[in-house]
Structure 1
Amino acid sequence: MTTHRVRRRRRWPAVAVTGALVAGAAGWAVMYGPFTKGGDAPAVADPEAVRTAQTFLRSWAAGDLAGAARLTDSPAKAELTLRNFTAGLEIAKPVLTAGAARAEGESGATVPYTAKMPVAGLGTWSYGSELGVSRTDAGWRVRWELPLIHPQLTDKQKFKLVEEESAELAAVDRDGKAISASAHPSLAAVLGLGGGKPRGEVQVVDRITGEVRSTAVRFGPAAGEGGGPLRTTIDARAQRAAEKALARHTEGRNAGLVALRIDSGEVVAVANGPAGGFNRAFQGTYAPGSTWKVLTSAALLEKGAVTPSTVVDCPKYLTVGKQFHNVETSEIKGATFREDFIHSCNTAFVALRGKLGNGEVTAFAKEFFGIGGPEWKTGVGSVDAKVPVPQDETEKAAALFGQGRLRTNPLTMASVTATAVSGTFRQPLLVRGTRQERIETKELPERVVGQLRSLMRDTVTDGSAKVLAGLGGEVGAKTGTAEVTEDGNNNGWLVAHDGEIAIACVVEGAESGSGSAGPVIRDMLAELAGPGPG
């Protein structure tokens, strides 16, 4: 095999890909773009409504199911369902965290929340849901409905836990060389290297027939096929560079990174922080922040709604149901769309909301980027992105720069980057032989691809991703910095490409995308550009 000596001439051979089930549950966080310092809610909800929702969640988490049920508009049904929900799932001491409330006029509110359900001996099942709160004669009450507990819980289906012990598993990289947890710590959880470890999944089953409808979450190492090693698309050198850079710059914070080949979608590196922990790179569910502007810009450019030279003012403030503003109330008077993109001006994107229909970004993501159609099959457990149709103008405005109810992860955003700079969606793959449903997509016009590549390159040379400016070649990138809470630290995103690979990295509890994820990707690309082994 060819030794990889310089980034622009890496020659990774093409291989097919196959499947295995792997661990974990999805981390969930609401994130915002680099120029925002505000909440995610369309309007301020009544404080009593918020307190009711928070008290309900606290009571549920503490095991006071009767107390939680009394805060609903259907106490008897609520208590019965809360008790039955975890029956047989071996869940104890869930952690339920309320997000930013959205007002529904003066008599209602919607409160999103994250749930982390520890499944005994397997891991944590994490997901996001939301509950509605309404004003009644008896005060504020949670509107009782089954999806409140979990979006997949209905009157026709429930959850079932299946457990077993894994067999011994070995794995090889794309060159057929053995890869181990000791050399690549992140791959222990991603691939499930080793054996004799608990494995299982929470299945969604029909309440009457018991037929398995889908899998909510998978835990534990993969099952080897035919007794042979798991054959992956991992490039050992890229994997080492990713894990080394992540460990150096994240300082113990949760983080995830995926690098994949632009020409095939094959994953060459997947790393997490902590290395042996939850696979947030594939199974995390985050709002993407301003890295999502790569996709929304593609939609605007493809439609002809803007060109890079179109003047789209970047004001300090813009109100659409709530006030959007930029970091430290920054502004760029008379800005072009190019300047808005490379400096990540949120208010400019908010101003462009009328150029796209309510469901247009959702449809565009499916049509050109393969998001929202058939489930992606990577060969290991992964969580697909969610691009819901906005519920109102405020959410539509926020979604244009990666806020609202969008949910992605580094796997998704690496693929979005690869599609944007090549024009072609290629389903990400990690393990040879995976059976994948064909995902039909359209090619982005060459004009749009050229514009996106130029915008991302300019973001490195003149914009918010100058952290990568010292690298050789034509590296392009897009930053994203997002709030988790008003008073807490941000989560930082950065997506980048060097013409051969696309990379996405998220670092939780960070100050900015350029300051946290930027050094990780810079060091990884710099190491790959240097002389290879031997």
Structure 2
Amino acid sequence: MRSGAKVAVVGGVFAVVVGGVGYGAYNILDGLGDSGVGGGSDAKTTTAEVRTGPVTKDEIADTSKEFLAAWASGDATTAAQLTNNEGEAGPALTGYSESAHVTKAVITAGAATGSKVPYTVKATVSYKGTTKAWSYASELTVVRGLTTGKPLVDWEPSVIHPDLKKGESLETGESKTASIEAVDRNGKVLTKEKYPSLGVILDELRKKYGTKAGGTTGIETWINSATADGADRTLLTLVKGKPGRVPTTLDAGIQAAAERAVKKYPESSVAAVEPSSGAIRAIANNRADGFDAARWAQLAPGSTMKIVTAAMIIQHGLGTANGPVKCPATVPWEGRVFHNLNDFSMTDNPTLKRAFARSCNTAFIKPVLPLGEGTRDTALGDEASRYFGIGQEWKAGISTKDGSVPPSEGAETAASFIGQGKIKMNPLNMASVTATAVHGQFLQPYIVPRSLDNRTFATASPLPAGVSSQLKEMMNYTATSAEGTATQAMAGVGSYKGGKTGSAEVDGKATSDSWFTGFSNDLAAAALVQSGGHGGTAAGPVVAEVLRAGP
């Protein structure tokens, strides 16, 4: 421990005073065993002895206790030496006091669960005469060192704060960007406290538009982004800046419904778009990693992609919504056999609309065979780009990942027609696909007015006459007929509606990703639930709840 530190253990309470600055770690012995600091069984192990096997209960207790005590006392060197990555832990722990300006820390540990030890941190942040309390919870894991065999804290930045990721750091000071007050389309203030999914979006809007909106800076504790183009994330406000008003297209009611919907399923995301304008009405996520998959994911969308495939089939004269198709259980394509779910087939003179409703894979592969090899390898990508705006570098006012439908060959071409192969999408992309099908023309999704920065929107050609009406008819039938795979999920959605389910197989996963996209009146939405199974089971209810909140 640093020179000048005084340590006392009295009645199970650990208290430290370092260099005239008070630190305290109270109740760190709770749930971690009865040994004193440094008194674990491993403390008597000779340097020649290398232990193996899982860490023991006593080792977990002693190691976590010593680490938390050192951290709370401000002794970054000792704390870092108790981790399995001293090189990264040292600067991060030093920065806790020197960069984040934490002047006091009270860390209370809970009972260990296996090798994980949860704890709460009650800290005080002080900067240029301004002081504010800061509290949060996190956890650490004790592992055995690979070379020494010693029990060590498995170092992750989240040990310091649960939102901290690799390459990021904590800092307290005058904020880099001006404060904002983001409002929905009706002027209602949007906050990350009320709408947690908007946290990363509000931080990004602040970085891009805070100065333009006339805001001023304050004093804050924040997470520095790991990338130059990323947005810093505010954790604590010591002194508020004057916020500049930033209008958004979001709808507070629809956003609230989206927040509720994703909470019902882990690893779920949803986005909603207004077909008549392209305005984004809601974006929400419920993910353990905090990733904004609703606009950043790049995953196969499964059979929701059949909306684009159907448009391609109609435009190439290969079929119509009410025209006949064949839906055998399997279909071969250049050495690979494609199957329907459970190898079902339709032998009662099905139409393209009915095959779409039941999500017959073979009916969306077989009709494309007559196209020439070169044409069919690029036909879907051309359709997606020219008419649905996929891959057109959207400038939504926040960062988004464009969908991707690259050229393919061989069996991958057939796979792309049913949303597999090389195709990559996210819920915002698929909500836009549905919005285009409903409106008849792609209108680029956006979340703030163009007037804020005079950016140029992506454009695409209108769908040819009759294509939009056929797509809407097919989606409506899928969401209302007895044989439609979207009917159950959309049962509670009123007015004119439509939907499409999707289940995307992912290599190495036993359960497919659940996708669903649908519309009701002038609102389109799409959802993804990773490893959620069938599209109508998980993603479907998410979309339905969002649509019920719409017009």
| Residue in 2 that maps onto 1:379 | 397
Paired letter, 1:415: S
Equivalence for 1:104: none
Counterpart residue number, 1:238? 254
Structure 1 pair 166/341, CA: closer, same or farther in 2 (3 Å)? farther
Kindly provide the amino acid, as one letter, of the partner of residue 190 in structure 2. Answer: I
* Residues in 2 aligned to 1:162 and 1:266: alpha-carbon distance in whole angstroms: 34
Change beyond 3 A, Cα 1:419–1:487? closer
Distance in 2 of aligned mates of 1:314 and 1:398: 16
Paired residue for 1:362, among 368, 378, 381? 381
2:338 partner letter: F
Higher-Rg structure is 2
TM-score normalized with structure 1 length: 0.62
Offset from partner CA, 1:194-232 (integer Å, 9 cap, x none): 9642343646xxxxxxxxxxx6xx35449x999513321
1:393 Cα deviation after fit: 2.1
1:161 and 1:123 mapped to 2: Cα distance?
Answer: 6
Out of 334, 342, 353, which is 2:368 matched to? 353
Q: Which amino acid aligns with 1:460?
A: A
Instruction: Report the identity percentage.
Output: 34
Q: What aligned pairs does 1:331-342 form with structure 2 within 5 A after superposition?
A: 331-333=345-347, 334-342=349-357
CA deviation profile, 1:454-490 (whole Å, cap 9, x unmatched): 0000001121101213422111011101222465222
Over the aligned positions, Cα root-mean-square deviation in angstroms equals 3.1
Deviation of 1:344 after TM superposition, in Å, equals: 0.7
Structure 1 CA distance for aligned equivalents of residues 356 and 328 of structure 2: 14
Q: Which protein, 1 or 2, shows the higher relative CO under an 8 Å CA cutoff with sep ≥ 6?
A: 1
Q: 2:149 — aligned with what? A: none
Partner of 2:273: 260
Counterparts of 1:450 and 1:404 in 2: how far apart (Å)?
Answer: 28
After TM superposition, the score normalised by the length of structure 2 is: 0.60
Check whether the contact 1:482–1:491 (CA below 8 A) recurs between aligned residues. Answer: yes
CA distance in 1, matches of 2:226, 2:247: 23
Alpha-carbon distance between aligned partners in 1 of 2:459 and 2:509, rounded to the nearest angstrom: 43
1:307 maps to which of 320, 327, 337: 320
Name the SS of the counterpart of 1:454 in structure 2: helix
- The aligned amino acid for 1:327 is L
Matches within 5 A, 1:221-300: 221=233, 228-247=244-263, 249-250=264-265, 253-274=266-287, 277-300=290-313
- 2:358 corresponds, among 333, 336, 343, to 343
CA contact (8 A) 1:353 1:396 kept: no
Judging changes above 3 Å, is the alpha-carbon distance between structure 1 residues 434 and 460 closer, same or farther for their aligned structure 2 residues?
A: farther
- How many pairs align? 362
**Corresponding residue of 2:517:** 495
For residue 223 of structure 2, what is the aligned residue in structure 1?
Answer: 198
Structure 1 residue 336, shift from structure 2 partner: 1.8
Secondary structure of 1:271's partner? strand
Alignment correspondent of 1:444: 463
1:346 CA displacement: 0.8
Question: Secondary structure at 1:345's aligned position in 2?
Answer: coil
Which digits, 9 at most, give the CA deviation of each residue in 1:231-281, with x for residues without a partner? 21111111111111221x31xx11111011111111111100139921110
Q: What is aligned with 1:511?
A: 533
**2: CA distance between counterparts of 1:119 and 1:293?**
42
Q: Hey, what does 2:131 align to over in structure 1? A: none
Unpaired segments ≥5 residues, structure 2? 1-90, 92-155, 207-219, 235-239
Structure 2 equivalent of residue 466 of structure 1: 487
Partner amino acid for 1:420? A
Change (3 A) 1:275 1:332: same
Match of 1:324 in 2: 338
For the residues of structure 1 that align with 2:429 and 2:417, how far apart are their CA atoms?
17
CA distance in 2, matches of 1:411, 1:310: 31
CA separation of 1:496/1:424 partners in 2, compared to 1, >3 Å: closer, same or farther? same
Match of 2:25 in 1: none
Gaps of 5+ in 1: 1-89, 91-117, 126-159, 204-214, 530-534
Q: Whole-Å Cα distance in 1 between the matches of residues 199 and 312 of structure 2?
A: 38
Q: Residue 473 of structure 2 aligns with which residue?
A: 454
Secondary structure of 1:170's partner?
Answer: strand
- How far apart in 1 are the matches of 2:464 and 2:157? 47
**Contact in 1 for aligned 2:313/2:368 (Cα 8 Å):** no
d(CA) in 2 for partners of 1:163 and 1:384?
A: 31
Deviations 1:146-179 (A, max 9, x none): xxxxxxxxxxxxxx99999654443211122211
Change (3 A) 1:229 1:412: same
Deviation at 1:434, TM superposition (A): 4.5
Q: Distance in 2 between matches of 1:365 and 1:408?
A: 11
1:479 aligns with 2:501: yes
Q: Secondary structure at the match of 2:466?
A: helix
| CA shift in 2, pair 1:169/1:287, >3 Å | same
